[in-house]
Chain A
């Protein structure tokens, strides 16, 4: 078995969730590498699309932000914010868009907080805010969420609900007036979590080699079902080569 780092397995696991033909709304960092990897491995006809308006960029070098000049090179077209988000709100396109998101806090329904901890007006810790995350979470049919498995991050109730998951359960989004899709998977430094078909509650779907389901539970602020969990298939040699040689040869993110 090939040696791999934690960030590498997280990236590969997320990449495997992207289907051929998906339009991938991605942010910066690890989500961008996952989207790049998917194109090389399992979804050659997926399209990387940035909220800044760059569509199908030729990413010869890894962008550090969605506004990096590297996303503007050899695109299908370079547009702007109003147009790119409208593309995700478009009911014909949104069905095919998968979002990749991250956050400081998540609850059992996949609602995300990337705004602040504590009182909104005078927070203990302030984060960047929604950016385009809430827009994507509102519109897209599926999303992959990257998280660190820590008690303070997997919480009963998020301090600020920035990006909608399943809200308060299976009927939550419909009640609120949101389109039908929602979060599909949470990829962490220990495990893959998914959401129950019926209850929309998070459950443990897979754990990385060397990690026990109990250790995962110990790092969460709420209980989840672990009865369906299986060990995750580690990255293959071929997958690792793609990550290291094609996606991040400068080791800007994966290190």
Chain B
């Protein structure tokens, strides 16, 4: 599963990545996380507030660290 985390290196972006990695490991899902840190690239994806999470080109979350429930629901799909 390919997951993109969008954000300009803020601490909340790092926490988001860590949370996804941790949940993926717990659920045994193989994930590849790409970081999109360039602000122009971020906004071209329609994202205004970071951290944001994008899976298969669709923005699923933006503006905060996603909840554990939300992360799990994405990974189970």
Q: Verify that A and B bind, or say they do not.
A: no
